[in-house]
Amino acid sequence: MIKAIAIDDEPIALDIVRMHAAKVPFLQLEATFVNAFDAIDYLNKNQIDLLFLDIKMPDISGIDLYNSLVRKPLLVFATAYSEHAVTGFELEAIDYLLKPFTFARFLKSCNKAQEILQNKNTVPSHIFIKDGYDTIKILFEEIRYIEATGNYLKYVLHEKEILTRATLKETIDLLPESLFIQTHRSFILNRTHIQKIERHQVTIDQHHIPIGAAYMDNLKTSLR
């Protein structure tokens, strides 16, 4: 089941989304919002797969709203202004619904989201990294955590450590979200090896990894 929310400052537009969503058997519209800031608060506290989002709203645009999110769901823009289509796709929106849109067009967006999520949930078992002049295969289950140190990443495994030249930002996109989570600007953890969560740190195999304030809510939400 795809969990979705819709944000639009026009109540009638949200009524249409609710009407269409009720006809899609694999879509659960969890909530709708006319107030963008209420929606941001909801998104920071709940795991959502798909976001239907208007662009032109008072106080904050849909584009700025989406850019502000730490955890970004799949995005479908629903707007009356076709000139924003290019911007939408630059933000990697999976689709762009031009108002007024039909149920058939809405369903097409939902089908696209379902396909992307199904492919995303097909979790690989390993990653290849550079170790000196060699490229080696590391099973995800072996990784306890990854630490950024300067221009390098340290992969901490069960019985050894491997140093490779890479950034945390580019690496997080290569790891399955279902297994790994970033808890600090310098650390990515394997969820399955977390033994203890305290106020400011996580314990894995006697290692104490700090939790950054900006990542605490995401950590709590993901482990529910």
Q: Report pLDDT for 82.
A: 62
CA distance 36 to 38: 5
CA 7 vs CA 3, 63, 125, 138, 191: distances in Å? 14, 12, 36, 41, 31
Pairing of strands 196-197, 187-190: unpaired
Count of residues in the chain? 224
Residue 20, SS3? Answer: helix
Q: Is the pLDDT of residue 27 over 70?
A: yes
Distant-in-sequence, close-in-space partners of 90: CB < 8 Å, separation ≥ 6: none
Q: What's the pLDDT score for residue 2?
A: 95
Query: DSSP code of 81?
Result: -
Give the pLDDT of residue 51.
Answer: 97
Query: For 103-154, how does the pLDDT look when each residue is reduced to its tens digit (9 = 90+)?
Result: 999 999 999 999 988 877 666 789 999 888 889 999 999 999 999 998 899 9
pLDDT one-digit tens code per residue, 76-106: 998 887 655 445 445 678 888 988 999 999 9
Give me the pLDDT at residue 84, please. Answer: 52
Give yes or no for a cis peptide into 11 (omega within 30° of 0): no
The confidence score (pLDDT) of residue 44 equals 87
Mean pLDDT of 20-49: 95
More confident residue, 67 or 112: 112
pLDDT of the residue at 53: 94
Helix (H) or strand (E) holding 28: strand 27-33
Confidence of residue 59 (pLDDT cuts 50, 70, 90): confident
Assign 222 a pLDDT band (cuts: 50, 70, 90).
low
Question: What pLDDT, on the 0 to 100 scale, is given for residue 164?
Answer: 94
- For 108-135, give one letter per residue: b (16+ CB within 10 A) or e: ebbeebbeeeeeeeeeeeebebeeeeee
What lies within 8 Å, CB to CB, of 48 at 6+ separation is 3, 4, 5, 30, 73
Q: 């369903």: which residue's tokens?
A: 107
* Contact between 124 and 174 (Cβ < 8 Å): no
Confidence class for position 223, pLDDT limits 50, 70, 90: low
* All structural domains of the chain: 2-120 (3.40.50.2300), 126-222 (2.40.50.1020)
Percent of the chain with pLDDT over 70: 92
pLDDT averaged over every residue in the chain: 88
Residues 41-59 have a mean pLDDT of: 91
What's 91's DSSP letter? T
Phi and psi torsions of 130, nearest 5°? -85, 130
Name the band, by pLDDT with cuts 50, 70 and 90, for residue 163. very high
